Chain A
Amino acid sequence: MANTTQPPNAPAVWAKTQFDGSAMRVALGGRWTLADAAILETAVQTLDTKGAALLHIDLSAVDAIDTCGAWILHRQLRRWQDRGAQIELVGTSDAQAALLERMGVADEERVPLLRKSGSAFAELAIRAGIAATEVAGEAKALIAFVGAATVCALRAIRRPGRVRLVSTVHHIESIGIDAVPILGLLAFLIGVVLAFQGADQLRAYGAEVFTINLLGVSILREIGVLITAIMVAGRTGSAFAAEIGTMKVNQEVDAMRTIGLDPMETLVLPRLLALAITLPLLVFFANTMALVGGAVMVILGLDLSLEQFLEQLSNAVQLNTLAVGLIKAPVFAVLIGVVSCYEGLKVSGSAESVGRHTTQSVVKSIFLVIVFDAAFSIFFSRIGL
């Protein structure tokens, strides 16, 4: 026995070499499996064939061999062959031989299995560049989408029969009715907080009663509609993007197209319509709840009666004030609907993409809602409302 590599604590696998005059006999035994991969690798690599030209590889003592064992053996055989040795396998079963045979196909190509990635810095620069150019492309695509949605909406006006009523009603329920409890609570609490803080500050001037003016104007003009829009963007916009995105991943959108259904008409329009109908109603509801919250706080905290509260409120706000808030609602509705449907339709391929675009839809629609709100403020102040 010229050379033995048999780790003492692992008798499960072994490999031995023995020179018998003309050829080197390599005897292998034990279980050549993934479980002992590390031992196998060293056992095979430390075999010393003394540069023999003819190798007899004897597998008759091998109890089991899996792809891992076969690969490690194959790799070593290839090394010996590259060195010019001639190899003969003895004692292999048909299945073992077939398995070893299959290892050969893995040698041919050496294409990297991982995606190429450059240095971290270059990567960062490239991504920043891509992101920058994407902003412009994104804006263009979004505008194009708005255009397509408008065309679709105009077509629907000409042929109202094509509007998906059932789907629209279903969305109205999930956007509107299902949101009532949470939105009501939210608006009520904001009314309470606003009244509390306002009263606290105005007390210093002895003008606590103007808390009611503060409440009326700020809630009706800004806070009611903003809170509602932000909540709907988070609650409904994300749902739209995820629903449509998942349909995209499952190729449902492709299937629709081949059947002749226009995704714009079947998916986007009912959602936009439902949002445009529901959001103003939700805003009105939120306004009411916030005022109720404020009223509760004011009446309890400032010791006013309900009549006094209402009187002060009617002095402070006109129908205008309410209208200024409500008029923004359909605009915000369209913004949220367009952005979330657009993001949903942009999903491609993976579940990860659904998540990314869902997040994007919420972030973008809230951003746009606030930008448009600012624009409205400027506009209204210019025209003196």
Chain B
Amino acid sequence: MSGQANDSVIRVRGLVTRFGAQTVHDGLDLDVRRGEILAIVGGSGTGKSVLLRTILGLKSPDGGTVELLGANLEALDEEARRPVLKRIGVLFQDGALFSARTVAQNARLPFLEHTKVDHRLVTQLIRVKLSMVGLPQSAGAKLPSELSGGMRKRAGLARAIALDPDILFLDEPTAGLDPIGAANFDSLIRDLQQALALTVVMVTHDVDTLCAIADRVAVLIDSKIIVGTLDEIRAHPHPWIQAYFDGPRGRAARTGLAVSAEPRVSTRVSKGT
């Protein structure tokens, strides 16, 4: 698993994804380097979530190869997948909490599955994770159906970071959070990433998050991907990218101002699903 020549923890080559007649990805290449925060942006329906699912081995590619931590998940059996899965954490777009279990039980599951840590310590760690993601301790005993949308997202994050994974996959982590919560979230990811040398791959529509913490940005356009640092991407001539960063929200985020009441004409970037 550790036999990688270079420092790419994720390597996608020539990925093709199709749904019927619709081609979502067409020969897409992507490398994610160890320890970086990569933000994936793109309009609604450009295939960001599908890309994550493909990298995670939940969907088999219609063409090309995907390597996660040096392993081709799709070709591995359950037993061989476990060590890879132990090293990743995933926050799905809609939380994907186990509805029959409480939040604390949801967060406990990775510990039960992958570690032999003492019961008491696990409980304490769950408390830590809950407060790290900004949930009150009282949320621990609640069922997902008893939480608000934003709280479900936080609970999903608590489960994703339960084991301090090497790679964290986040699908729109700040959508549905209040702005203060979103800013806290950004700094949480930063701290974790620096303290643990975490690699973060996140899909986001949030320009603030992007400017605050992304090391590199990947833009999904026309079934392909354009990757670069924030400055490189900003200089890219593609009209969608220009509209993205030059819209009222993009400008506000860049200059550190609050989003003004300007009409939002040129971007439709913060639409969730």
Chain A: residues with CB nearer than 8 A to chain B?
A: 33-35, 37-38, 41, 64-68, 70-72, 75, 93-96, 98-99, 102-103, 105-106, 108-115, 249, 348-352
Interface membership of B233, Cβ < 8 A = no
8 A-B contacts (beta carbon < 8 Å): A66-B196, A67-B125, A68-B164, A98-B195, A110-B137, A114-B104, A249-B99, A351-B99
A286 to B194: give the CA distance in the assembly, Å.
Answer: 70
Given A114-B141, A351-B99, A75 and B124 contact (CB-CB distance below 8 Å):
yes
**Residue among B118, B129, B197 making CB contact with A37, cutoff 8 Å:** B118
Closest to B130 in A: A106
| CB <8 Å contact, B195 and A66 | yes
Which 10 pairs of residues, A with B, have the shortest CB-CB distance? Answer: A349-B145, A95-B194, A350-B99, A352-B100, A113-B140, A66-B164, A113-B104, A95-B195, A111-B137, A105-B131
Q: How far is the CA of A123 from the CA of B67 in the complex (A)?
A: 51
Q: Are B127 and A113 in contact (CB under 8 A)?
A: yes
Partner of A67, one of B115, B132, B187: B132
How many whole Å from A372's CB to the nearest CB in chain B? 34
Instruction: Give CA–CA (A5, B33) in the complex, Å.
Output: 37
User: Which residues of B are interface residues toward A (Cβ below 8 A)?
Assistant: 99-100, 102, 104, 115-118, 121, 123-132, 136-138, 140-141, 143-146, 161, 163-164, 187-188, 191-197
A184 to B130, CA, bound (A): 57
Q: How far is the CB of A341 from chain B (nearest CB, A)?
A: 21
On whether the beta carbons of A34 and B164 are closer than 8 Å, the reply is yes
Q: Total A-B residue pairs with C-beta atoms closer than 8 Å?
A: 111
**Once the chains bind, are A99 and B192 in contact (CB under 8 Å)?**
yes
Contact yes or no, B137 A115, CB < 8 A = no
User: What's the least CB distance linking A197 to chain B, in Å?
Assistant: 45
Chain B's closest residue to A95 (CB) is B194
Q: With the chains together, A64 CA to B121 CA distance in Å?
A: 19
B107 to chain A, nearest CB (A): 9
In the bound assembly, the distance between CA atoms of A67 and B129 in angstroms comes to: 8
Residues of B near A75 (CB, < 8 A) are 124
CB of B270 to closest CB in A, whole Å: 22
Q: Are the CB atoms of A65 and B195 closer together than 8 Å? A: yes
CA gap between A99 and B132 in the complex, in Å: 10
Which of B104, B146, B195 is close to A99, meaning CB atoms less than 8 Å apart?
B195
Q: Which residues of A contact B123 (CB under 8 A)?
A: 113
Q: How far is the CB of B73 from chain A (nearest CB, A)?
A: 22
Q: Is the CB of B145 within 8 A of A34?
A: no
List, in ascending order, chain B residues with CB within 8 A of A95's CB.
191, 193-195
For B161, give the chain A residue with the smallest CB separation.
A67
* Contact partners of B99 in chain A: CB under 8 A: 249, 349-352
Give A38 Cβ to nearest chain B Cβ, in Å: 7
Question: Nearest residue in A to B134 (C-beta to C-beta)?
Answer: A105
CA distance A349 to B142 in the complex (A): 12
Measured in the bound complex, the distance between the Cα atoms of B18 and A206 in whole Å is 72
- B197, A106: Cβ atoms under 8 Å? no
Q: Which chain A residue shows the least CB distance to B138?
A: A111
Chain B: minimal CB distance from A117 (Å): 11
CB < 8 Å neighbour of A71 from B102, B125, B145: B125
Residues of A within 8 A of B102 (CB): 113-115
How far is the CB of A89 from the nearest CB of chain B, in Å?
Answer: 14
The interface residues of chain A lying within 8 Å CB-to-CB of B164 are: 33-34, 66-68
A368 to chain B, nearest CB (A): 28
Residue in chain A with minimal CB distance to B198: A66
| Cα(A65)–Cα(B130), bound, Å | 19
Complex interface: chain B residues within 8 A of A106 (CB): 124, 127-128, 130-132
In the bound complex, how far is the Cα of B144 from the Cα of A31, in angstroms?
A: 35
| Complex CA–CA separation, A102 to B42 (angstroms) | 32
Task: Name the CB-closest residue of A to B117.
Answer: A37
Give the distance in Å from the alpha carbon of A34 to the alpha carbon of B163 in the complex: 7
| Inter-subunit contact A113/B141 (CB<8 Å) | yes
Q: Which residues of A contact B138 (CB under 8 A)?
A: 109, 111
Chain B, residue nearest A249 (CB): B99
- Please tell me if the beta carbons of B196 and A71 are within 8 angstroms of each other in the complex: no
Per the bound structure, the CA–CA distance linking A67 and B117 in Å amounts to: 14
**Which residues on A sit within 8 Å (CB–CB) of B129?**
67
Q: Return the chain A residue nearest B191 by Cβ.
A: A98
| Residues of chain B lying within 8 A (CB to CB) of residue A93 | 194-195
* Contact between chains at B117 and A34 (CB < 8 Å): yes
- Residues in B neighbouring A348, C-beta threshold 8 A: 145
Give Cα A105–Cα B191 distance, bound, in whole angstroms. 15
Extra contacts besides A111-B136, A249-B145 (10): CB < 8 Å: A37-B115, A41-B121, A65-B195, A72-B121, A93-B194, A103-B128, A111-B138, A112-B140, A113-B123, A113-B126
A350 and B144 CA atoms in complex are apart in Å by 8
CA distance A284 to B128 in the complex (A): 65
Distance in angstroms from A253 CB to nearest chain B CB is: 14
| Option from B118, B163, B195 in Cβ contact (under 8 Å) with A96 | B195
A114 to B142, CA, bound (A): 9
- The answer to whether B194 touches A94, judged by C-beta atoms less than 8 angstroms apart, is yes
Query: Which of B121, B141, B143, B161 gathers the greatest number of chain A CB atoms within 10 Å?
Result: B121
A residues in contact with B132, CB < 8 Å: 67, 102, 105-106
CA distance A38 to B121 in the complex (A): 9
Q: How far is the CA of A106 from the CA of B129 in the complex (A)?
A: 8
Interface centre among A75, A99, A106 (most CB of B within 10 A): A106
For B107, the closest partner residue in chain A by CB is A113
